[in-house]
A and B are shown apart, each in its own frame.
Chain A
Amino acid sequence: MQREEIFTTIKDLAVELLGVDEAKVTNEARFKEDLDADSLDIVEFVMGMEEKFNVELPESEVEGVATVGQAVDLVSSKVS
């Protein structure tokens, strides 16, 4: 799966789950500070990504993910 495709899917998920403007969801956007995600939002988001991409994202690997770009990187590493 191409990185662009992953980014678009994650962007749509962020809009749907976090209720943010599409324009805010950039590679550099930080979930907590820029997209206003609280800890429950993040859990929901991770579960949403697992479902959309059919991957498993263990807690330990998710911990380091602070931005949308890092989320895309993590999923990329699981699907390719």
Chain B
Amino acid sequence: MTEEKQIALVTGGSRGIGRECVIELANAGHIVAFSYSSDVDGTNETIKLASEVGTAPIGIKSDVSSPEGVDQLFTEIEEKLGVVSILVNNAGITRDTLLMRMKDDQWDDVIQTNLTGAFYTMRRAARNMMKNRWGRIINISSVNAYVGPVGQANYAAAKAGVIGMTKSVAREFASRNITANAIAPGVIETAMVGETPQEWRDTMLSTIPLARFGQPNEIAHLVVFLASENASYITGTVIPIDGGVGMGT
């Protein structure tokens, strides 16, 4: 398949890394749909910014942590735009707390959204990607999967899980020209990171070799590349974009 424009789905596109992925994929000429859970203002802003550089994306309110929610999401996209050939699993939440104080739902919610949600979307997308013998799956993991920060046993578990899952999927679907890769962002300037304690951010900053946090669009650029025809020999990888902080982990 040549550089044809594809239909891309980004989960969690109302802000942060997801928003930049939507914008950059639209900029690259793709038709983009994204899911959001509740942030309508953020969703409209994403649509506005992406429309300035490409075809206006569509934002769909959706719960990607449930199989029904994922099925509805894909069905709506298929009706409005067509079959998804680029899937970016970005939707993620944090429920930071020390393990001993972590409640069941704090563990469950993070695993369900960050890990199981990616399973649901990949399973739903796989069939059509297989039929078309072309697909790109890009899963957003995290440097925290390797580093294991205090207070993030749930997040680190989910993000590490995404890595293992990405590799299995890469192997399973390789014969159909479907690649699956994971990106491990470091500390990126987003609302999610903005919610962390200032003390933590100061400490992190001092450990990052490139001495700054990353920008969400620095993740999006790799997403666009991995989704392109030029990346068709790259599969089963975990690529860090972290200013060097994850080196040696």
Contact = CB atoms under 8 A, between A and B. Distances in A.
Nearest to B127: A47
Contacts of B130: 40, 44
Interface in B108-166: 127, 130-131
Q: Counting chain B CB atoms within 10 Å of each CB, which of A38, A40, A44, A47 scores highest?
A: A40
A47 B128 CA distance: 12
Contacts of A47: 127
A32 B213 CA distance: 52
Interface in A27-41: 38, 40
Contacts of A38: 175
A44 B176 CA distance: 12
Chain A contact surface mostly: helix
B133 to A, nearest CB: 10
Interface in A2-42: 38, 40
B172 interface: yes
B173 A40 contact: yes
Contacts of A40: 130, 172-173, 175-176
A47 B173 CA distance: 16
A65 B176 CA distance: 23
Contacts of B127: 44, 47
A38 B176 CA distance: 11
A78 to B, nearest CB: 21
A55 B5 CA distance: 37
A40 B130 CA distance: 8
A35 to B, nearest CB: 16
A65 B130 CA distance: 22
Contacts of B176: 40
Interface of B: 127, 130-131, 172-173, 175-176
7 contacts: A38-B175, A40-B130, A40-B173, A40-B175, A44-B127, A44-B130, A44-B131
Closest A-B pairs by Cβ, 6 of them: A40-B175, A38-B175, A40-B130, A40-B176, A44-B130, A47-B127
